[in-house]
Amino acid sequence: MNTKKDFMPTLGLITTVSIVVGGVIGSGIFKKPAVMALQLGSPEWLLFIWVLAGVLTLFGALTNAEIASMIPETGGQYEFFRTMYGEFMAYLYGWSMFSVVQTASIASITYIFADSVHSLIPLPRLSAEMEAWSVYLPFIGSIFPLKDFGIKILTVAAILILTYVNHRGVTFGGTVQVMFTALKILALLFIVAMAFLLGTGNISHFSLDMTSTQGISAVPTDWALVSALVMALSGAFWAYDGWNNITFIAGEVKEPSRTIPRGLFIGMFIIIAVYLLINIAYLYILPVNAMAGSSLVAVDVVRSIFSSIDPGLASLATGFIAIAIMISTFGASNGTILVSSRIYYAMAKQGLFFRSIGTVHPIFKTPSKALIIQGIWSSILVFSGTFDTLTDMLIFVSWIFYAMGAIGVFVLRKKMPDHPRPYRVWGYPFIPAIFVIFAIGFVGYTLYNDIAMYMNGSTPIINSVFGLAFVALGIPFYLYFRRQQITSFE
């Protein structure tokens, strides 16, 4: 299958970097630091986790870049898996991206956009009785589809609007992505600048020994610390997730063998630098116990900065952060919608998805039907759970395939030793091996920890098993699509 003739290679390095950065920086950096602070109870551990997650994600990007330079096809990881492991594993990867990973990512990112709108303009809600209505799923737990109903309705509306934007053309969608990426980076750097130039922070906040621990739990120890680190890593990984999205539209990138690896490198370094700066700014203004008690750290940080100057500015500052989060999440959702539909397009071209999905719009040259089905399923997932349910299950599933993708470097070095490699992963075999070992450990412990937390009543749902259930649903569909393939050749 060759998809290059279906799409125009119009995206350059700047747009490629903006898709990497814009697809990663979304809701995580605003939503997750408070949860991570509560889990860890230590500023040192908090900063360590952000660095560790960034380094491990960079290792994954470096590893992935070698394969991307070898197989610069639209469909990205799906095409990589087909070359590395064959049709079934490629299908299972693509199905997982459709059923849970990419679509749940779109749903959760856009949910935070709608939640930010709600902080400025209260959205309607249903009665407490209706929002408390739940659906029990055997072996998984309970979900609350009507909870925060108004926010979810706006989330669906935003998903459908962005789907339409990307239906109109990849150049149009790419231009929107560059604009929103620049705005979100500027907004984050503005928070950093205000924290250090105008804020009345304290460097003592960077050390737990020098920080008041009133109102905060003790730092976990022994296995409780391991559990806290894994849960915090899951939150940080969500903030870093989306780094490989650019590979999905390789057929629409100019000189993809060179541009994609460069875009991954530049994009990941920008992301790690921005994340470290913003977390340092957070901690400079708020001690870790205050972060742990915050619902949205960025809002509390900016409110604290401007309250010390003029209390009247605090409400304006809160509004500014809400708008910054809206810009960030809107751009991240746009980037994910833009690239993800290309996976299902590639599957359909091979007869492993509904055949009509494997067509492009005659005028706009976009996989419009793939965009539509992606938008519909993402909208359904909005009602399947909370923000944390969606992010936890998609991170668990995605890291299974991140591990397999990194193993694929070893597979292809043996299977295709003479194939041109415009880029070879730095530090081979150690960098890919470190990434694989960690990814397997992370997935295994997350599954164990999720089940343990559900059994002791700490959570109403086993997020990792919920994600696996969506993956397993793809197997009967595979049998159906294979039968259709066979029938078409007879």
pLDDT tens string 428-437 = 999 999 999 9
The stretch 149-168 carries a mean pLDDT of: 92
Q: Quick one: which of 318, 315, 308, 313 has its CA closest to 285?
A: 308
Give the position of tokens 């976990």.
220
pLDDT of 341: 86
3-state helix, strand, coil in the chain (%, to 5): 75, 0, 25
pLDDT of 441: 93
Do 104 and 381 form a contact (C-beta atoms < 8 A)? Answer: yes
The stretch 309-327 carries a mean pLDDT of: 79
Residue 70 pLDDT > 90: no
CA dist 288 and 294 (Å) reads: 10
Q: Which two tokens stand for residue 402?
A: 């991140």
CA dist 210 and 380 (Å) reads: 47
**Alpha-helical segments (H) within 297-386:** 297-307, 314-349, 368-382
The stretch 283-308 carries a mean pLDDT of: 84
Residue 262 pLDDT > 70: yes
Kindly indicate the confidence band of residue 210, based on its pLDDT and cuts at 50, 70 and 90. very low
The stretch 167-178 carries a mean pLDDT of: 70
Q: Which two tokens stand for residue 447?
A: 């599954």
Say which residue, 170 or 383, is predicted with more confidence: 383
pLDDT of 150: 94
CA dist 114 and 471 (Å) reads: 27
List pLDDT tens digits, range 450-461. 999 889 888 888
pLDDT of 202: 85
Residue 211 pLDDT > 50: no
pLDDT of 315: 78
- What's the chain's average pLDDT? 85
> Which range is least confidently modeled, 67-76, 153-162, 165-174?
165-174
pLDDT of 98: 94
SS3 253: strand
Q: What is the CATH number of domain 4-489?
A: 1.20.1740.10
Q: Which two tokens stand for residue 479?
A: 């049998």
Say which residue, 187 or 466, is predicted with more confidence: 466
The stretch 21-25 carries a mean pLDDT of: 82
- Residues 6+ away with beta carbon under 8 Å from 368: 167, 359, 360, 361
b (16+ CB within 10 A) / e for 292-328: bebebbbbbbbbbbbeeeeeebbeebbebbbebbbbb
Residue 170 pLDDT > 80: no
SS3 343: helix
CA dist 128 and 79 (Å) reads: 47
Tell me the residue type at 224.
A
Do 141 and 462 form a contact (C-beta atoms < 8 A)? Answer: yes
The stretch 61-89 carries a mean pLDDT of: 87
**Phi-psi sector, 138: left (phi>0), alpha (psi -120 to 50), beta:** beta
pLDDT of 213: 46
Share of the chain above pLDDT 90, in %: 35
